[in-house]
Every structure is written in structure tokens, then in C-alpha cells.
Structure 1
Amino acid sequence: MSWKKTIAAAALTAAVSATVVSAVSAATPVTVKKAKPPVVAAAPINVMSTNYLINGADALIHTITLNGKKLVSVGDLAVALGADFSFKGNNVSVELNGHIVKLTTNSDKFTVDGVQQKLPAAVKNVQYRNFIDMDMYLKGLGVTVTTDASGTTWIDADLLPEADSAQWIGDGKLLVAHDTEAGSFKSIVDVKTGEHRILTDNTEIAELVVSPDGKKAAYTDSQGAVWVMDLGLETSKKVSDDASIKPELVWSPDQTAIYFLNSEKSNSIKKLNLADGKISTILDDKKDYKENLQVSADGKVFTYQQNTMSKVTDPGATEGQDVVDDGLTIDPSAATTNICQFVNDPSIKDNAPVQLTNSTDDKMFVKAMADGNSVVYIKVGADEKTKSVLNSVMKDKTVKTLFGDQDVLQAVFAGNNKWYLLTGGPTGKNLIYEFDAVAVTSKQLYTVSDSVSDIIAQGSSLAIIDNGIIYAQVNGKWRPVSR
């Protein structure tokens, strides 16, 4: 065998050996580990800045959305509300208005004044901020959340209690009357800032009658004495010890006197001179049940409503009449209210009141103009199908309708010939109109809930009461000033 053949044979033998070894190795079982799937990082939680109206001011609050639920920054809201805020590690404490909220990062439980509650979502820490369910957080702190007629949400830490009535006293301030379970009191609130203070908690004061300049208020105590309160100094001075019953007090335009209806049946008009405390009689015609006394700018023309009560008769009266417990019957159809005027001028011979209207319809929100030449009022519809309209009656007894486009619920004179009207509207809604009594033109301003019961207006200042909550027009928005 040549050396070439010897080398070729050796190479072939090596190749065959390698092939056999490879085949044997391939037949041997081998355990193969599956590769782990790549780790996918959780999608980052997007932190947004959301604008809220807090205590009457715009505030940017950091928010996140987690599983479709919006959570708010615990610290941002605490600072905006003026709350005390502290933390230690994962534990956070927030205190406001006597309430203490405690929470822990990643926990779905928190405590309100020591009582544990469950959150709809656990507290989440993102970018060194704790985020929590806003509704439960604010409720725990005793914060009021209100949505106004325009859909704007207001968050307020310190609102007045539910209001019964209110009146403007100038400078964007309202004098508010409250009647709560804890007692009645009066307060003053600045509608722009929300700042408020209790004026008096004297339960003997049924009503404060504000002076024309808005700086003073008159009232009677339980003994009938007349007092004048300085609304700025919060001090009161007795101006009359007269103990007679005074159902209504009215300031003279120059603020030198207070007029009042006298006696339990309001059958006379009297004048209290504030300089010396002397009382004089303006009218004593012996006709009972006067109300809504008003005085002209010159102090001479006195306008009021004269009421006639229901007729009470003996048993056996017409069928269908109501029967009272003692067997007497009452005829409510005999009850009427009409508008009268009396000119206090000694030179007029046989001077007597003049009845301007002579009708059986109800008359509400009667307002005499400053010159005494006309009186505006709402003529109430006879039934639910008949609209109530805004009428006026002149000194010559001429009656005309000023506004009858909608069912008029309330009419408030704001000065300078301007009226605000609350009327019925579409289902579930009321409307607010501005009405010019001289030009006899109207303009719809707002659509509000049909639960709005009162308009409070003076000049360009406007507020409403909706289910006991006062909303004031501030920069085009209805700001809540009570809860």
C-alpha cells in the first residue's frame, strides 16, 4: 500500500469513528431548559394637573387615574384647603375643622376621627406623592362639595350652615339668617372671599331690618322695645322702651326715623323719631291686618297691603265650607288682599287711605316705587293652569301687565328701574330674567333648578337660595356661600 493510500485509509477511519460517536451522542437524552420570557416593565402611571375651585380660588391638584378611578394628591388638597398636614414614613395625618384623617401608603383602609373606613382603591404613591379617592377624603375632612347651576364643582372647607333668608348689605356682603337645631343666629358673609362671622346669636331677634345705607339694622326684643345695631361694630343701642307690639319696622329713607305697624292686628301706622325716641301716629283708621308697609323717598306716601280675613259663621253654613273644632265654619273665599296708599299731608281735607286695587286675586311681592306714583306686584294665577303675571297699579288706579311671558314666581326690585324675576321654565327648571320696568323690556339671564326658591338682589349683586344653600353670582359663576 502506498503512503497516499495509507493516509486516505486513516482519514476515512477517523471520519467514520467521528460519525459513530456523534450518532451515539445524539441518541442520549438531553434536558433542555425553556427560556424565560422577557420582563416587561409596568406602564408608568401618568400624573396630571387638574384645576379645581377650592375655597373660591382656582387650585391645580395632581391627579392620577388607576383602574378607571381618579385619585387626587393628599398633600395638594390639604394645602389648598388650609389643612394641617404631616407624615412619617408611609403614614400620613391630615387635620381640618376638627376632623383627623389618617392613611397609609398602599392600604385600602383609612381612619376618620379614629374610625376605620374602607377606600374604593388603595392609597397609591407616585412620584413621591400619595393619591387617594377624593370623595371619601373630602367627606372625612368635613369639606363641602357643591355643583352649581352651571355644572361647576366647588370645594369649600368652611361654609355657613343652611340659610333661611338673606339680604344684601352692600360691599358684596350678605346678612344671613339661620335657624338650626342648635339655635337661631345671624351672620355676615363676604361672597367673594367666603369669609364670614356670626353677627348675633340672640334668639330674641326674629328679624333684622337693614337701614338704607346697609350699616345698621333695627329690631325689637321680646318686650317690644326697639333697638338699633351697628353692623360693623356689632353693638346695639335701645332707641325706644315702648312695649307695644310692632309686627313690622321700616326705616325712613333719611334714616332719622323708624316707622312701624302697631298692635297685634296691625291697625295703625306710627313713627319713632330716633333723635328723641318720641312716637307719633301717622294713620289710625281702625282697619285691621295691614302688612308690607313701605315709605316713599320724600317720607309722605305710605303704601301697604290691606287684608280681609276669612269669614267665620255659625253652624249650618253653606255646604262644602270647612268646619273648625268648635263647630264654627270658615269661608276662605272672603279673604282678600288689596293695595292701599295714604299720603301724610295735613293740608288734605278729610284725608284717608286710597285703595288702589279692588280685586280678589292674591298679590305677592308688592313693591312701591320711590316716588309713590306706582306700585308693582305679582298677580297670582287663579289656578295651576293660569300664569302669575307682573302687574303695576298707578295712583289713578290704572292696572297694567308688565310681564306675562312666563309664570312669575318672584319679583325683586334691584334699583334703577331694574327687576329680577324668578319664573317657571322647562320641566325641572326655573328661569331668571332681568326686567326694565320703564322700557318694559326683559332678558333671560339664567336657567336654574326648579328647587330655587328665592332671589336676593341689590344693584348688580345677585344671589339665589336653592334647598337652603345660598349661591352668589361671582365672576360669572354661582358660588356657594352656605351648605
Structure 2
Amino acid sequence: MKKSKWVSAALASAILVTGGAVNVLGATSVNAAAVVTTGTAAWNVNSIPVTFSTIDHSGYKLYSLSQVAGELGAKLILSNNGFELNDSKGLHNVQLQAGSKSYLVDGEAQQFTVAPVVYNGKVYVELTKLVTALGGELTAEGQEIMSFARPEGQYDTLHWTADGSIIANKSDAETAQLFKFSAYPGDYELFTSNEGALDFAVSADQKWGAFTDETGQLNLLNLSSGAITALGTDKSVKTDLVWSQDGKTIYFIQGDKQEKIAQISVETGTVKALLEDKVENKSALRFSADGKSAVYIVNVTGVAKNDADSTEDSLTVDYSKAGEQLYKLDLATKDAKPAALTTALDNKLYPEIAADGGVVYLSADPDGNAANTLKTIGADGKITDIALDVEAVWSAGVTTGLVVAGAATDGSTKIYSIDASGNKTVLYQTAEDVSEVAVSRDGSRLAVVSDGKVLLIQGGKAVQLTK
């Protein structure tokens, strides 16, 4: 029990126990013969096992008011009108009287099913109504009580932070709301309401985020405090932000037509161009761990053709070579030109540069007639499929290799870890649809969005952080 809980419980006991089974504020104590049984009830309160003192009265199990308040960290005081409780965050106020079904929650009238009673000098109350009145939550699974209820809503855009927290965007909110969740349900905070920060690139040490606002200004987001600071003064269009491993550089695709690759110094804000080949529609920028090579996608569009007079009627567009192609840029060689890695017209998603220098990507049929496949491009340029027993829908590189999510033939979702030797380990499997996955840097923990809810996956077990 935390210190605040001990203090609350001690104060409550000092208030309530004033010498035997005395009346509290004039309330009549329950006659011992009228109580069916005294007993205990085991719960987990904020993941800590607790045994509560209980009584059975009028067919209902009632719990010790002072003990519940103490375990939830709520302040309990004796007032002229009965008992007053305030949760530890100062968000909720509850006023109740022994012997009265009526009570107030944040000034609004509520009703207990059974009035709080005094027995042997202690007040006993309905557990569920007291916990929810203080802003907490109970779950039937595992007899779990949380001091603070999980937030409701639809969530997306997951990010891990260095302290093991998960940041997620509340997508159904009227204004920007990014929440930060700890590993324990109910332990969360509104992290930022900055509209530009709805999505951001996370640094390798997971201590910083980077995002641009509507003017093109690059901003740094402290993932511990939520503080936002501008980086440099350049206002050009910047997309696909990528941090260097040492956190000193942020790479990005630059320009209104995504025609350049550039970098900015985190220390000075100085922008430097890395590639200006005038090829437009670059995206999905990735860098190797040593920063010596980059991979990106070019979206090749249709080619317009006209006759010699350039009449409107003669205009045609040739889409025979339209599609997405992967390119690799050798940054260690001066004036190196980008090298095309692919020629097929499939859609290419989630490219990653592997530790051995190869490139992994997800191939998708643009017409949807063939299943997605995970492919790897070796140093010799040969493209091969990575065998899976699911249809891959997402992948990401981690320090240990690759994490892949896929849909099985029965509709379930399976998430794998694949190491450098190709060994596969199932990290999580669920019958539910998974729309988004985020993996911690070491690959040991997952955060997923399923039906709009955020779940933490650790050791193959899921903990639901929202409802």
C-alpha cells in the first residue's frame, strides 16, 4: 500500500472507531444478530492483491468504507453532513451518510441500493457504487479494481516511449487529444492537445518525437514532459521524418512534390540536402542503422502523350509503367546515384533496411487479386519471399530483426518476431481484428489497436488499456 493509502486508512479508522460500536452522526448501528455473516473478499487493487473486510446485510455484501478509501488513495473525512471523500487526483467528491441511501457525487444526487451501515464501529458500503463514484472501475475478470477508470473512445496512431508508456491518439475526439498510458489500466494522462502532434517520428532512444506543423516548421516533442520546441526556422514541406540512431539528425523528404531528400541537425537546426535528382513522389524513407544508406519508394505516375500539335483530343496517358518502385541511395559514396531495386508494378509497403544491408518490404497486389507477401532483397539484388503461414499486413524493423502482423485463413491475427536467422516466434494471436501495431524498440512488447481499443501485449498476454 502506498503511503497516501496508509494515511487515508489510518485517518479513516481514527474517525470511525471512537470506542466500541458507537453511532456515527446519529446513525443506528446494525444489530449483530441482523448481520448474516462477517467475512472477507479478495480483489486486486491496481494490480496489488487486497483482502477487504465485508459484511452481508439485507442480501448484499458491503465493504469497509475506510479500507476501500485507503486502498484507492482517497481522502476520507468526517463532516457535519456525514462522510466526504476526495480521490487522489482531486477530480471527484463524494458525500454520504450512514443509514441513508442518498449520496452526492460531484454535487449530483445518487442512490445506493442498500444504505451504508455501521457495524462494530465501522461503516460498510456498496463497493461498486463507491468505486465508480470516485472515478474508478471494476472488472469482473480477475476481481480487478482500478483507482481510475479506463478512458472510452476510439484510438489510433500508437507510439512507444522510453519509460515504457504508450501514446495514442483519441480519433473520435472533437479536438486533438493524445493520451499517454502506462502498463497498468486506468493509469493515464492527457499528454498533449497540439493538433500538429497527432503523429510524430520517434527517436531511437524513444525520448523525443518530431513533427511538422501546418507552416512546415519542424518541432521537437519531449516524450516525458510533453514540452514542444521549434527546431530551426526552415519552413519547406517535410514528410517521412526519420531519426538517426544517435539522435543528432532528422532525415526527411523535402519539397512540395516530395522531390528531395534532406537532413536537419538537431543541435543547430541547419538543413542540408542529400539528394536533389528532381524525381517526384518519394515516400516511406528509411535509413540504415549506420546512416550510410537510405531506401525509399517512388510512386511512378502515368506518362502523358500528345501529337505534334498538342491538341486536347490527342492527349493520352500511358499507365503501363505506373506503380511503386524501391530505390536505394549509397550515402557513403560521394555523388552516388539512387539505384532501382525493383521493377514490378506491385504496391510496396513498410520498407526496412536489415542489419545485413538487405531490404525487406511488403508486396501487395494493386488490384487485390493476390495475397500480400513479405519479400526480401539480397545484396545481389535477388528478390525472394519470406514464408509465413499468414497473409502479412504490416511489418516493422526492431533491434532483434523484424516484427510482422498477418491475417490467418480463419480470420485471426497473428504477430511474429523474426530474427536475423529467419527463426519465427509468435508474440501474440487473437481472433479479433487488429488494425494497428506498434512494437517496443527491443521487440519484447506490443501495443495494438483492436476495434478502436488500445491493448498492451506482453508475454503473449493482452491488457486492455481503453474501453
> Shared topology, TM-score over 0.5?
yes
- Structure 2 contact 405–413 (Cα < 8 Å) conserved: no
User: Match for 1:339 among 323, 326, 340?
Assistant: 326
Question: In the alignment, what sits opposite 2:456?
Answer: 472
Instruction: Name the structure 2 match of 1:319.
Output: none
Q: Is the 8 A contact 1:291 1:306 kept in 2?
A: yes
Kept in 2, the 8 Å contact 1:414–1:420? The answer is: no
CA contact (8 A) 2:232 2:268 kept: no
Cα distance, 1:259 vs structure 2: 1.5
Q: Give 1:202 shift.
A: 3.2
Match 2:70 to one of 51, 54, 79: 79
Structure 1 Cα separation of the partners of residues 271 and 324 of structure 2: 28
Please tell me the residue identity of whatever aligns with 1:143: G
Residue 292 in structure 1 maps to residue 275 in structure 2: no
In 2 relative to 1, CA 79–42 (structure 1 residues): closer, same or farther, beyond 3 Å? closer
Unaligned runs of 5+ in 1: 1-40, 315-327
Q: Tell me, what secondary structure is at the counterpart of 2:131?
A: helix
Q: What's 2:106 paired with?
A: 113
Q: Provide Cα deviations, 1:271-318, integer angstroms capped at 9, x if missing partner.
A: 22345544332222323221111111232211112224589999xxxx
Partner SS state of residue 260, structure 1 = strand
The 8 Å contact of residues 131 and 147 in structure 2, kept in 1 or not, is answered as no
Q: Deviations over 1:306-336 (max 9, x none)?
A: 224589999xxxxxxxxxxxxx999999863
Name which of structure 1's ranges 297-306 and 460-469 shifts more when overlaid on structure 2. 460-469
Shift of 1:90: 9.8
Q: Specify the alignment match of 2:425 in structure 1.
A: 443
Q: Distance in 2 between matches of 1:333 and 1:146?
A: 57
Q: Tell me by how many angstroms 1:196 deviates.
A: 5.4
Which residue of the partner structure matches residue 239 of structure 2?
247
Moved more, 131-140 or 261-270: 131-140
Partner of residue 257, structure 1: 249
Cα distance 1:479–1:128, how it changes in 2: closer, same or farther (>3 A)?
farther
Three-state SS of the structure 1 residue aligned to 2:424 is strand
2:295–2:329 Cα contact (<8 Å) kept: yes
CA distance in 1, matches of 2:436, 2:54: 37
Aligned to 1:354: 339
Match of 1:57 among 48, 73, 91: 48
Deviation of 1:245 after TM superposition, in Å, equals: 0.7
Where does residue 100 of structure 1 map in the other structure? 93
- Name the larger-Rg structure: 1
Q: Secondary structure at the match of 1:184?
A: coil
Normalised by the length of structure 2, the TM-score is 0.73
Q: How many residues align?
A: 422
Q: Answer yes or no: is the 8 Å Cα contact 1:422–1:455 preserved in 2.
A: no
Aligned AA (2:287): V
Q: Provide the rounded CA distance (Å) in 1 between the counterparts of 2:451 and 2:320.
A: 32
Q: Please name the residue that 1:421 is paired with.
A: 405
Whether the aligned pair in 2 keeps the contact of 1:154 and 1:479 (CA below 8 Å) is no
Instruction: Structure 2: state its 5+ residue gaps.
Output: 1-32, 307-314
Describe the shift of the 1:451–1:93 C-alpha distance in structure 2 as closer, same or farther (beyond 3 A): farther
Q: What are the equivalent positions in structure 2 for 1:314-325 lying under 5 Å apart?
A: none
Aligned amino acid, residue 378 of structure 2? M
Question: Over aligned residue pairs, what C-alpha RMSD do you find?
Answer: 4.1
What is the rounded CA distance, in whole Å, between the counterparts of 2:421 and 2:377 in structure 1?
A: 16
> Does the Cα contact within 8 Å between 1:161 and 1:178 map onto a contact in 2?
no
The CA distance in 1 between the partners of 2:144 and 2:317, in whole Å, is: 50
1:60/1:113 CA distance change after superposition, 3 Å: same
User: Which residue of the other structure, out of 249, 256, 272, is the alignment partner of 1:280?
Assistant: 272
> What is the CA–CA distance in structure 2 between the aligned matches of 1:69 and 1:476, rounded to whole Å?
38
Matched residue SS, 1:170: coil
In structure 1, give the amino acid aligned to 2:428: Y
Which residue is equivalent to 1:301?
Answer: 293
Where in structure 2 are the equivalents of 1:205-216 lying within 5 Å?
Answer: 205-216=197-208
Give the corresponding residue for 2:413: 430
